[in-house]
Structure formats: C-alpha cells, structure tokens
Amino acid sequence: MDYRIRWQQQRRQRQRKRLLIVPAALALATVLYLLVRGAGGAGSNWVFEAPSHALPHFAVTPAFIYVAWPDGHLIALQTATGRPTAEAPVFSVPEAFNATPTVEEHTLYLGSDAGILRALNARTGQLVWDRDTGGPIRCQPLVISGRLFVGNGSGLVYCFRTGGAKMWSRQLEDGISGQPALVGRQLIVATVRGAIYALDFGTGKTLWRQDLQSPDVPTPIFSPVTAAPPVVLIGSDDGYLYVLDAATGRPAREPYYTAGLVREAPAISDQAIAFGSTDGWLRVISHDAMQPLWAYALPGPVTAGPTIAGNLVLVACPTRLIALELSSGRFIRSWKGEQLGGDLVVAAKTIYVGTNQGRIMALAMP
C-alpha cells in the first residue's frame, strides 16, 4: 500500500516537472528565434512610408530628419518616432529635388532641378530667400564659416553668404554633380568630365586645374569631393579613387582601382578611410599611410555609404545594410532591406537610410 502511494506521488512530481519544463523550453526557443531573426531581420525603430515612390534625400538633426523627394515635396519627421508633426515644416513646389539638403543652425538649404537654391526656416518651412543659379542643382550645398558654396549642371559655382547675398560666381567648363570640399582657403570642385579645380575661398579665382585624364577622354565624376587634409579624395566612374594634393592638384599617390563605379563619398576617421564601389567591395585604407588594410565582399553593389560610427563602418547594398568592425573588417550584423540607396546617416545611435521606393528607415545601432 505504501509502495502505491509513493509511486503515485512520484508520478505527480514527474508530471509537475514536465508542466514546468515544456513552457520553459518553448520560451527559450522563442527567445532564440527572435535573436536569430533580429540578427538578419529589419530590426527597425521605425519606417516612414512616403507617398512618393522615389529615392529620398535627407539631412538629420537631433530633433528632425528633413526629407526631400524628386516630386518636389519636403517634409520633416521626428527622429524619435518617424512621424510628421504640426510644427514640422512641409514645403512643396513643382520642381524635382535630387540633391541632399543641408541644415545649419535653424536654416535648411536645398537645391532643385530647376536651378533654384532655397533657404528655408528649419522650424516652420517658410521660405527665407531663394536664388536662381541658372542650372540644375544635383549636389549638396556646402555651408562653412558663414558661407554657402554650390555648383550646378551648367558648370557655375556660387558662393553666397548664408543670409543670401552673393559673393562671387565662377563658370567652369562642365557641369558639377558632387558636393565640393574646402581645404584651407581652397574650394575643390570636380566636374562631370573629370576636371578638378581649386578656387580661392574669397574670390573664386582659379588656383589650379587638374585633368584626371586627357580632356579628349573624360573621366566621369559624380562623387562628392572629400577633404582629408592635406589631400582630397575623389571617386570616379572609371573605377578609381583618386588622391590629390589639395595645395597643387598633383596626384599624392597612385589611385586605388575598383572594377565598378565609385559614386559615394568615402568615410573618414582618424585611423581609416572606407570607400565602396558598384563592384560590390568595401575597401578600407589607413588614414596616414594610405595603405590597404582590408576589404569585404558585399552581396551586391554599394548603393549608400559607407559611413563610420566609432569602431563600426556601415554600408548598404540593394538588399542589405551591413555593419563591420572598422579595425578588422569583422562582420558585426546586418539588416534586411529592399532597394536601399541614397543617403546613409548615423546620428544619436540611430542609423537612417532611404530606399528607392521612397521609404526612410531608422535602425538601432548594434
């Protein structure tokens, strides 16, 4: 009799253990699934679905992300939520916006395909001033030391005071697609046919000109000029990243060759320079010696970035946003996307990237 009672007690204990073990195992399996899914999934803080299914261009501040679309609309989203607010500026004109805007203090500067450069109040969206530059603006305005520099598709380079007063303009032989760079008192500008100019900061006078190849065999340049004093870095459609002495325009070293188009600006830190190509490789070189450190094969052509945040380098290809360790190239994590492209910005531990379908995605830094 005692044996039966003990057997029944042991049976009930085994049943209770099973009742506890099964839910715990299910919970552990769920956690592991979410972790694995998060490592390769979207992991979005938020996604803004725009009515315009075209590539957006944007600038980020602590409070807002200002987004311009090729259909002529500009809107400001809250960086925390991705939602427009009543206070966020909305601006619309029947012109295409195909250039990244620039925000400086409380003013937003934006160029259009109609050649109009506008300064808007970043809090209200109201027009402060506008100027007709005479050609489509496809490059991001450069604002520094109270001056604004911009080039257009007709080859005109302008210098305005941030209040709107024109200081000088300079006519170059070919159109300008990439943002210029300032090194000391020299404004370095690249044309779409591969001529590089250094213009005097104060007067616009040409200080030197360097043709990357013979003028009869142009080297198309659609990449921004990137300052890395005492040199400038310029990507080109012939597959090279050129390194020029900013003071003279002469090559500072042999260019780096890729098998694709180098259209995105390199990312620079104190230790390294990262650049990508449509050949699907991200390459990292040392900042001081300009020597190759490592390269990483992406699952597609570079469409946004790279950008450097701490010891991470981030780069986008059409279906993935990938984070790598800057010092070693070690894979950290990736996010799935669809038709990623355009601007890639890291601010306040959040990654912002656009898509060719008009979306803006905000992702938490790993």
The pLDDT of residue 168 is above 50: yes
Strand order in the sheet with 186-190: 181-183, 186-190, 195-200, 206-211
Q: Tell me the three state secondary structure of residue 17.
A: helix
CATH number for the domain spanning 302: value is 2.40.128.630
d(CA 194, CA 215): 8
Q: Which of 34-38, 167-171, 357-361 has the highest mean pLDDT?
A: 167-171
Q: Please report whether residue 318 resides in a domain.
A: yes
For 71-105, write each residue's pLDDT tens digit.
999 999 999 999 997 776 788 999 999 999 999 98
CB 183 within 8 A of CB 246: yes
Residue 6 lies in a domain: yes
> Could you tell me if residue 203 is inside a domain?
no
CA atoms of 345 and 354, how far apart (whole Å): 10
* pTM for the whole structure: 0.85
What are the tens digits of pLDDT across the range 214-257? 556 678 999 999 999 999 999 999 999 999 999 999 999 999 99
At residue 289, the pLDDT reads 87
Token readout for 362 is 């905000």
- Give residue 231's pLDDT: 95
b/e map of 256-270 (b: 16 or more CB within 10 Å)? bebeebbbbbbbbee
Task: Kindly state whether residue 289 falls inside one of the protein's structural domains.
Answer: yes
Please indicate whether residue 2 or residue 208 has the higher confidence score (pLDDT): 208
Q: Is residue 67 part of a domain?
A: no
Residue 161 has pLDDT above 80, yes or no: yes
Distance CA 201, CA 310 (A): 32
Contact 183/200 with Cβ under 8 angstroms? no
Residue at 68 is within a domain: no
Q: What is the pLDDT of residue 12?
A: 62
Split into its structural domains, the chain has a count of 2
pLDDT of residue 213: 74
- The runs of H, that is alpha helices, within the chain are 2-40
Which residue range(s) make up the domain with 328?
261-366
Look at residue 337 and tell me if it is in a domain. yes
Average pLDDT, rounded, for the chain: 88
Contact between residue 190 and residue 151 where contact means Cβ atoms under 8 Å apart: no
84 lies in some domain? no
- Going by C-alpha positions, the residue among 203, 204, 244, 199 that lies closest to residue 221 is 244
